[in-house]
Amino acid sequence: MSSTVESLWRSVTGSNPDPSDYSGIEFWSNPERAGWLTKQGEYIKTWRRRWFVLKQGKLLWFKDPASASTPDAVPRGVVAVNECLTVKGAEDVLHKPFSFELSTSRDTMYFIAHSEKEKEDWINSIGRSIVQHSRSLADSEVVDYDSRQPVV
């Protein structure tokens, strides 16, 4: 696929992240976790091996480690972990060993690690990041659930 066609395809499928999705994230330096995972495509359900980086509340993916090694690198995709609802094993859904899923209110993404330990390490790292970057009830508005109005 030519780079122009690939760029157009990525923008149409939503896989081409907006630079504001990852600005200020020094993903090339000391990530919380980084490594290879196989990810299922969002629209064409093929499986592709990608280099993933978890840093500062963002899960970013790249074609390979070299394409994630400089400040001007452009990820192929970004997920803000504060938008994630769950991260859990998915062997029962995919019938593939070492698989897990990451769910947001909009969709569910599927991944395959290379071992059970890697799968558990990714689930734990992403889970910790979700907790660290989600807004706690104390930080957000208190809502009166009977009227659905913020309490002042």
Give the integer Cα–Cα distance in Å for 123 and 134: 16
Residue 66 tokens read as: 């070299």
pLDDT in tens, 39-89: 998 888 899 999 999 999 999 999 999 999 999 899 999 999 999 999 999
CB 14 within 8 A of CB 23: no
CB 28 within 8 A of CB 5: no
pTM (2 decimals)?
0.77
Taking the mean position of all CA atoms in its chain, how far away is CA 6? Answer: 21
Among residues of the chain, what percentage have pLDDT more than 70?
Answer: 78
